[in-house]
Amino acid sequence: MKQLVNIIKKIENNIVFSSIGYFIILFFILMLSVTFAKECSYVYSQF
């Protein structure tokens, strides 16, 4: 029974960790796209 609890706790930790990593990756992509959009609009405003 104790073994099962440990396994469940490990799975929960993995889920929490992966969701945090997922949010960090999403945030990173968002920042990249925002920066890219700013660069593009800056370049277009030059012409």
pLDDT tens digits for 1-47? 788 899 889 988 888 888 888 899 999 999 999 999 988 888 878 77
Q: Identify the pLDDT of residue 34.
A: 94
Q: Identify the pLDDT of residue 14.
A: 85
Which one-letter amino acid corresponds to residue 16?
V
Q: What angle do CA 5, 23, 28 make, to 5 degrees?
A: 150
Which tokens in the block code for residue 12? 């929960």
Q: Identify the pLDDT of residue 33.
A: 93
Q: Identify the pLDDT of residue 27.
A: 96
pTM of the model: 0.54
Which tokens in the block code for residue 34? 């925002």
